[in-house]
Amino acid sequence: MDRESLLTTLSLLRQGRAKLVSRFIDQDEVMLSDMFRFERSRALMALAMDRANVSWITHHYELFDRLAESVPPDAAAVFKTCVLNLIDRFDHAREGDLTAEWALVQTMISEKKSLLEAQFDFSNKDDLNYRKLVFAQHRERALFERIFENAMEKKS
Amino acid sequence: MKFLEKLSKLGDLIAKPFELIIDYAREPLRGWEHDRSESSRASSHAHDRDLEQSRIKAESDARIREKESEANLAFKTRKLERELEEWVKDQEIARFERVTEAVMRYRQEFTAMNQSAIKAIGMMQIELRQRAHDLVEEKTRRYKALQEDAFDNAVADLIRIEQQFPTNPVARKMLEDAVQKKLATIIDGAGRFIAELDVDLKLLSESVTRLSERGEEFVTVHLQQFHTSQLGNIERLTVTPTKLIDKS
Amino acid sequence: MDKELQTLILQCLVEQNVDAAIRDKLATSITTRISGHNKLVDMKARLAILFEYEKNYLQLIKEFKEEIKFAGSIQEDLRKERAKFFSDTLKEVSTTLQESQVDPTVAATWLKDLVGSYTKSLDLSSGLIEEQTIDTIGKIRNDARSVVKDVDVTQMP
């Protein structure tokens, strides 16, 4: 790999890292609100982290697409390999031209993103149900107390 | 010499030595011609007839020697042709080996990519299903807690009723009914919502399956492309050396 | 000592009718002197070849010195980035989370994830540079080998 390719690839990776940090420092709203909303739910917190990771990988794809034409083919191949390696548990045994895997992962990442959203939607829907029930409990309690009070008064 | 031209298409490296050999084959012929011109100059005019005779003899000798050299040359040429055939055969074998190697490597890569894609899709499925399962479990527990809470409250209420209305069965019945109704609302409500969780879990699971199907579709399409491109590479190896020569 | 040379010289001496008694001694002494001179010539030739070799080799080193220096400097940059991350950046992130009053356990989980992702990216970058350096060294070795070939060592007497 020549000097220019190496520098391009390293720069792209570095920009990816900068994004990681900036989400915290610049207080990314989605991320921060997730941290509060899901304080008490391990499952939802895990989903939130999945969502953040998916968004990070997607950011790398965006970084690459932004430069697209101007990236030398050497650097492109190496960068793609690196990004695929960033994904947890992706089997990176194969060497050589990874264009197919690159595109495949892109599809799967976007599918995963929508499935994660589906899980959040599902969770939100159930939260509404739960709150309804809690409300019902309070209301029933209040109504019962009224009946009880009534009965007590009648007693005396 | 057309044959030589053909050879030169294969590059100087091959043509050169052949040129030299053919050149060398011509050497004796040239050498003899030189001698001949020398001897004709040296002969005296006195013996014209002898000269004539020897000239005729010399000429026929020359022609004989020419024929010999030609035969020699023809023989050398045939020898070279055979050597060229051998060389071509060797190239064919080497090419065959290269193609076989390429095919084997392609199969390995194809399989590896297949496996890595399947594994990735599989992992993603497992992870997503796990998440959904954990989520449902958490939420079910939450509902169950609510049910327990309602139950405890009901028990406390019933005790209160016992204590406050020991001698009033009518009042007691009314209040106990109210407690039961209250409890039922919560228990049934929670039960319903838990059932909904189950339904939604199944739906989520189905979407995850659809993901994997989409992924597999995608993989198939891309493996097709990979397949085609690799075959293209292999075909490029199939230009035979003989084709190179025939191009003349 | 060069036997062939000695025989030749002896022959010359015989042709010149040199006295038999001193012929051998003379031949030997002349041969030795000439051989010695040849040795000098040999040595000069060897030195010339070595010098040629060194000149080309040093040329290579000069070319690759830049490459090696370059690789070293970007590797150094990466090390600095890594150090800065663990000392400054993490602290800054942690403080930001604290000030936002994120639950400490939650913050810890996200920090752990941040460290994991960041270091993975750093390690990949570091690996790329290493590979480049190894490639460069390998290239130097190969080019050095071909230098040896070009400067035809077989011509060494």
Examine the domain organization and report whether B98 and B15 are in the same domain.
Answer: yes
Measured between beta carbons, the chain B residues lying within 8 angstroms of A125 are 200
Quick one: pLDDT band at residue B187, thresholds 50, 70, 90?
A: very high
Asked, for residue A105, whether it belongs to a domain, the answer is: yes
Q: Identify whether residues B91 and B173 lie together within a single domain.
A: no
Cross-chain residue pair C128–A10, CB shorter than 8 Å: yes
Number of domains making up chain A: 1
Looking at the complex, does the CB of residue C137 fall below 8 Å from at least one CB of chain A?
no
Contact C125 A14 (CB under 8 A): yes
pLDDT of residue C28: 83
State the pLDDT at residue B77.
73
What's the structural domain count of chain B?
2
A92 — contact with chain B (CB < 8 Å)? yes
**Amino acid code (one letter) for B83:** E
Contact B10, B244 (CB under 8 A): yes
Q: Does some domain include residue A134? A: no
Q: Which long-range contacts does B189-193 make (Cβ < 8 Å, 24+ apart)?
A: B189/A132, B189/A133, B189/A136, B190/A133, B190/B143, B190/B144, B190/B146, B190/B147, B190/B150, B191/B147, B193/A126, B193/A129, B193/A130, B193/A133, B193/B143
User: What pLDDT shows up at residue C87?
Assistant: 93
Subunit contact A108:B120, Cβ cutoff 8 A: yes
Residue A101 belongs to what domain range? Answer: 3-122
Containing domain of residue B230, as a range?
Answer: 117-236
Cα separation, B108 vs B96, in Å, equals 18
**CB contact C50 to A (< 8 Å):** no
Q: Which residues of A touch B197 (CB under 8 A)?
A: 126
> HSE on the CB side for A89, CA within 13 Å?
10
Closest chain B residue by Cα to residue A47: B131
Rounded-to-integer distance, Cα A126 and Cα A122, Å: 6
Task: Examine the domain organization and report whether B130 and B227 are in the same domain.
Answer: yes
Clarify whether residues B70 and B99 are in a common domain.
yes
Contact B195, A126 (CB under 8 A): no
**Same domain for B178 and B89:** no
Chain A residues with CB under 8 Å of B226 CB are: 100
More confident residue, A37 or B38: A37
Report the range out of B84-88, B101-105, B234-238, C99-103 with the highest average pLDDT.
C99-103
pLDDT of residue B208: 86
Domain match, B72 and B121 both: no
Q: How confident is the model over B46-83, as pLDDT tens digits?
A: 456 676 777 777 777 777 777 777 777 777 777 777 87
**Same domain? B225 vs B132:** yes
d(CA A73, CA B138): 48
Q: Are B120 and A105 in contact (CB under 8 A)?
A: yes
Alpha carbon of A123 to those of A13, A31, A117, A127: distances in Å?
34, 17, 10, 6
pTM of the model: 0.65
Cβ distance C106 to A14 less than 8 Å, yes or no, reads no
Whole-angstrom Cα Rg for chain A? 25
> How far apart are alpha carbons A108 and A114 in whole angstroms?
10
User: B86 or A146, which is more confident?
Assistant: A146
A75-117 pLDDT, tens digit each: 888 888 888 888 765 655 456 667 777 877 888 888 889 999 9
Do B103 and B138 lie in one domain? The reply is no
Name all contacts of B196-203 with Cβ < 8 Å and 24+ positions apart.
B196/A126, B196/A129, B197/A126, B197/B136, B197/B139, B197/B140, B198/B136, B200/A122, B200/A125, B200/A126, B200/B136, B201/B132, B201/B133, B201/B136
Which of C89, C103, C121 lies nearest to residue A13, judging by beta carbons? C121
At C66-83, the pLDDT tens digits run 777 888 899 999 999 999
Name, in order, each residue with C-beta under 8 angstroms of B1's C-beta and a sequence gap of 6 or more.
Answer: B22
User: Alpha-carbon distance C59 to C39, whole Å?
Assistant: 30
Among B139, B212, B221, B228, the strongest candidate for a mutation testing the A interface, having the largest count of A CBs within 10 A, is B139
Q: Would you state the pLDDT for residue B182?
A: 94
- B68 and B95 fall within a common domain: yes
Structure tokens at A77: 């191949």
Render pLDDT for C109-132 as a digit per residue (tens, 0 to 9).
Answer: 999 999 999 999 999 899 888 888
- What value of ipTM does the predicted structure carry? 0.83
The CA distance from C82 to C120, in Å, is 11
Instruction: Collect all residues with Cβ–Cβ distance below 8 Å to A75 and sequence separation of at least 6.
Output: A1, A4, A5, A6, A8, A9
Query: Which has the higher per-residue pLDDT, B65 or A9?
Result: A9
How far is Cα A75 from Cα A79, in angstroms, rounded to an integer?
A: 6
Mean pLDDT of the C85-114 span: 93
Query: What is residue B16's predicted lDDT score, i.e. its pLDDT?
Result: 44
Q: Are residues B194 and B231 in the same domain?
A: yes
Q: Please give the C-alpha separations between residue B131 and each of A33, A149, A151, B114, B144, in angstroms, as whole numbers.
A: 20, 47, 50, 26, 20
Cβ of B138 within 8 Å of Cβ of A43? The answer is yes
> Which residues 60-99 in chain C show a CB within 8 A of chain A?
67, 70, 74, 78, 81, 89, 92-93, 96-97
Shared domain for B141 and B83, answered yes or no, is no
Of residues B29 and B110, the one with the higher pLDDT is B110
| Angle, helix A3-25 to helix C104-150, in steps of 10 degrees | 170
Kindly tell me if the per-residue pLDDT of B43 is higher than 60: no
- For residues B132 and B210, membership in a common domain is answered with yes
CA B158 – CA C105 distance, rounded (Å)? 41
Q: Which chains touch B (3 or more CB pairs under 8 A)?
A: A
